Amino acid sequence: VKKAVLENLLDKNYASVSKKIERFISSYISKSPAAGVAVGLSGGLDSSVVLKLSVNALGPEKVAGFILPSSTTPEQDVKDAVSLAESLKIDYKIIDTSSIISKYLEVLSGSTDKIRGNLVARIRMSILYHEAAIKNYLVAGTSDKSEFLIGYFTKFGDGGSDLLPIAGLYKTQVRALATYLGIPEGIVKKKSSPALWKGQLAEKELGMEYEIIDPILVLLDRKLTARQAAKKLQLPVKDVIRVQAMIKASAHKRKIAEAANIEK
């Protein structure tokens, strides 16, 4: 059943999906006072797909790419990002964030990999918004539906953007869409990683592969209980409960901050 749920999930008309997303991007930009979109390019799957869809939607002259490596960024990622930007003929810029990160760490309290990783994601957001504002562009976010739902993003970091072109697609669907879009295989097959610290791998950190997470998310979205979903997917209930807990714990990341109600 697990395989069937996943196959059903992946069985999309990707030509139609990409057209819908491209229309979303061009309609969003045309309704706003902005002239184009800025995309932070990591050399990974999600940002490559968002870049390609943006170029399809707006043309390369209205899309800018920003490659923002730090000391923990694999060299291959920068190469992949540059080569995609070049092949799509967009305006792109590489801004090394190492010296900015070091400056923060000189004045901030000592912390963990995770806290420092969130800082790096927020530095990238700050740079992206700065460069986008200069061009009068909006920032296109690169979160997919899986990451968005389990909260696998930094609040006001990579989670800080103006529009979310691929947040309607699960990670496994984004991978299939990438193949449809002709994204280079090296990017499509790359293991997902925010690269916020050395050796960080999404599925290792999450303790589960997206081929498992996505079917769980689909069944939970259909309002199955943890027990029902686990049974259907032939998985331990604790795996489903784990995903449920991630959804719950990250709810605040998908909402505007709550305001005190002084009327009631």
Q: How far is the CB of 230 from a copy of itself (least distance, A)?
A: 25
Encode 203-225: b = buried (16+ Cβ within 10 Å), e = exposed: beebebebbbbbbbbbbbeeebe
Closest CB to a copy of itself among residues 104, 201 = 104
46 is catalytic: yes
3-state secondary structure of 65: strand
Measured between alpha carbons, how far is residue 31 from residues 26, 59, 109 in Å?
A: 9, 17, 43
Tell me if 217 contacts a copy of itself by CB under 8 A.
no
Using CB under 8 A as the criterion, what x/- string covers residues 220-259 for binding a copy of itself?
-----------------------------x--x-xxxxxx
Among positions 104, 182, 221, 245, the unique one binding a copy of itself when judged by CB under 8 A: 104
| Stretch touching a copy of itself by CB under 8 A, among 37-45, 103-111, 182-190, 220-228 | 103-111
CA dihedral 176, 182, 187, 192 (to 10 degrees): -20
| Stretch touching a copy of itself by CB under 8 A, among 126-134, 198-206, 214-222, 231-239 | 126-134
Helix axes 2-10, 171-181, angle to 10 degrees: 40
DSSP string, 79-139: HHHHHHHHHTT-EEEE---HHHHHHHHHHSPP--HHHHHHHHHHHHHHHHHHHHHHHTEEE
147 is catalytic: yes
Among positions 3, 79, 89, 103, the unique one binding a copy of itself when judged by CB under 8 A: 103
3-state secondary structure of 66: strand
Catalytic residue among 46, 80, 144, 158: 46
Phi, psi of 200, deg, nearest 5: -65, 130
Closest CB to a copy of itself among residues 234, 258 = 258
Q: How many whole angstroms separate alpha carbon 170 and alpha carbon 180?
A: 15
Owner of token pair 């769980």: 216
Tell me if 169 contacts a copy of itself by CB under 8 A.
yes
Tell me if 21 contacts a copy of itself by CB under 8 A.
yes
Tell me if 43 contacts a copy of itself by CB under 8 A.
no
Q: Which residues bind a copy of itself (CB under 8 A)?
A: 12, 17, 20-21, 24-25, 28, 32-33, 95-96, 99-100, 103-104, 106-111, 115, 118-119, 122-123, 125-127, 129-131, 133-134, 141, 145, 148, 155-156, 160-169, 249, 252, 254-264
